[in-house]
Amino acid sequence: MNIILSNTSGSPIYEQIAEQIKALIISGQLAPETPLPSMRLLAKELRVSLITTKRAYEELERDGYLRTMTGKGSFVAGLDNDLIRGEQLRLIEDQLRAAVNRARLNGIPLTELEEMLVRFYEEESK
C-alpha cells in the first residue's frame, strides 16, 4: 500500500490514512477479503504512532470498509455497489462545492462554470 502523508494538510494523519485506504478500496485496487498490514506494521512503515493507525482502522471498520478478526487481522470488507456509489457521489459533491465557492469568490459566473464542467466532462469521454 502506497500511503502518502502530509504534515501540512489540514486533515489529521489518521484521516489521511483512512481516506487513502478508502480510495484504494473504492477503486478496486484493494479487493474484498484482501488482508491489510497489521496496525503495528503500518505504523512502523508510515513512521506514525500505533494509536494513529488504530484510529484509522477503527474508522474504516465503523464505516464498513474493513472487518477485523481478533488474532487474524483486518481485511477489506465486501462492499455493495450502492455504498461505493454513495461514497463517490459524496466526494464529488464536496469537490464541486469547493469549486463553486472558489468561483463565487473570484466572480466567475455560473454559466462560465457550467461551460468548464461540460468541457472537462467531454474531454474525459473522448
Give tens-digit pLDDT for 28-85. Answer: 899 999 999 999 999 999 999 999 999 999 999 998 899 999 999 999 998 776 777 7
Angle at 56 between CA 51 and CA 61, to 5 degrees: 120
Angle at 59 between CA 53 and CA 60, to 5 degrees: 90
Give residue 88's pLDDT: 78
Model pTM score: 0.69
* Residue 121 in this model has a pLDDT that exceeds 70: yes
| Per-residue pLDDT reduced to its tens digit, 71-100 | 999 999 987 767 777 877 888 999 999 999
> Rounded to an integer, what distance in angstroms lies between the CA atom of residue 42 and that of residue 66?
15
Pairing assessment for the beta strands 66-69 and 73-76 based on DSSP bridges: antiparallel
Tally Cβ neighbours within 10 Å of residue 58: 16
Give residue 83's pLDDT: 74
Q: Which three cell numbers stand for residue 110?
A: 455560473
* Residue 17 in this model has a pLDDT that exceeds 90: yes
DSSP-derived secondary structure for 80-94: PHHHHHHHHHHHHHH
Give residue 126's pLDDT: 58
What residues does 66 pair with on adjacent strands? Answer: 76
Name the phi and psi angles at 8, rounded to 5: -95, -5
